[in-house]
A and B are shown apart, each in its own frame.
Chain A
């Protein structure tokens, strides 16, 4: 499936949920926050929120800052 993740177009092996997407990207769901089509995916819903072809996904975390 085709997704836009963090600003780049990516071809991903089909996944059904945000949690599956994170696992495919080798990311720990507890360490990131996800936006799907500009809406925050609430933490408890990561396992059940669907991912569909063409979705725009942002995956963020905390970095050093002032």
Chain B
């Protein structure tokens, strides 16, 4: 059971709702993922389009735990503004806080992120902070009041997988709040490898939405997360630089 900011979730997989080819495909993929948490973005209503109904029209407002993000924000002030707007929608006090520092890599601006975390935590927000895989930043975010820290596996939407297992393990080992790896997984083996590091969960979007068959990939991700978690809990055997036979070395024929 995953618990973040006093809220319990049955799945360790959290999924985004962006980039799907159709709403129907999105709904079926989320269902297949087994996730109870979906992220959403705050954007202007398009007043020139009568059919701009917003995602809740398709998703339903009570089926999933809605996690509003501050995607697209490049400063602490902007992110705080978006977080407040998201909270006013009235679902919960949680926010997936992103403060982006670079348009090419979408890597976080950790100074802005820390600043926004301090302000929002003080306002009662449950901040889940999207950050890089830097331990010191993760520790500062926890100290600033984040209820979860979300280091990347690799850049947003890159699908490059887990670039630095050691840093992710180190962050998990040192933090008390849940560590949710956010961004970068490309396929189920990436999800499995991430979970094998002992982290509490994974948040992903593109890997499912941009798969040729998102519903099938969502199933694969659910299984990958479960497999990785089970393997972590099982405790892997040590790595050895020598071979050790699996069959008895006694009782062999002359």
Q: Which residues of A contact B16 (CB under 8 A)?
A: 64-66
Which of B63-71, B191-199, B220-228, B240-248 contacts the other chain? B63-71
How would residues 54 to 75 of chain B score, 1 for a CB under 8 Å from any chain A CB and 0 otherwise? 1111000000001011010000
Given contacts A40-B84, A66-B16, contact A61 B39 (CB under 8 A): no
B41 touches A65 (CB 8 A): yes
A62 touches B40 (CB 8 A): yes
B44 touches A58 (CB 8 A): yes
User: CB of B45 within 8 A of chain A?
Assistant: yes
User: CB of A15 within 8 A of chain B?
Assistant: no
How far does the alpha carbon of A22 sit from the alpha carbon of B18 in the complex, in Å?
Answer: 26
CB-contact partner of A33 in B19, B89, B157, under 8 A: B89
User: CB of A55 within 8 A of chain B?
Assistant: no
User: CB of B24 within 8 A of chain A?
Assistant: no
How far does the alpha carbon of A31 sit from the alpha carbon of B55 in the complex, in Å?
Answer: 10
Q: Which chain A residue lies CB-closest to B84?
A: A40
Q: Which residues of A contact B205 (CB under 8 A)?
A: 65-66
CB-contact partner of B88 in A6, A10, A26, A33, under 8 A: A33
B88 touches A63 (CB 8 A): no
How far does the alpha carbon of A32 sit from the alpha carbon of B40 in the complex, in Å?
Answer: 14
Q: Which residues of B contact A66 (CB under 8 A)?
A: 16-19, 39, 41, 69, 71, 156-157, 183, 203-206
Given contacts A6-B45, A43-B88, contact A62 B68 (CB under 8 A): yes
Q: Give the Cβ gap from B202 to chain A, nearest Cβ, in Å.
A: 12
Q: Give the Cβ gap from B225 to chain A, nearest Cβ, in Å.
A: 17
Q: Which residues of B contact A58 (CB under 8 A)?
A: 44
User: CB of B211 within 8 A of chain A?
Assistant: no
User: CB of B85 within 8 A of chain A?
Assistant: yes
B89 touches A40 (CB 8 A): no
User: CB of B212 within 8 A of chain A?
Assistant: no
How far does the alpha carbon of A66 sit from the alpha carbon of B96 in the complex, in Å?
Answer: 9
User: CB of B50 within 8 A of chain A?
Assistant: yes
Of residues 13 through 58 on chain A, the ones whose CB sits less than 8 Å from some CB of chain B are 25-27, 31-33, 35, 40, 42-43, 58
If A61-B42, A62-B66, A63-B40 are given as contacts, then 6 extra A-B residue pairs at C-beta distance below 8 Å, sorted by A number, are A33-B85, A62-B55, A64-B18, A64-B26, A65-B39, A66-B203
5 A-B residue contacts at CB 8 Å? A35-B85, A59-B47, A62-B68, A63-B41, A65-B205
Question: Top 9 nearest A-B pairs by Cβ distance?
Answer: A65-B41, A66-B16, A66-B205, A61-B54, A64-B17, A62-B40, A64-B18, A6-B44, A33-B88
Contact surface of A with B, Cβ cutoff 8 Å: 5-8, 10, 25-27, 31-33, 35, 40, 42-43, 58-66
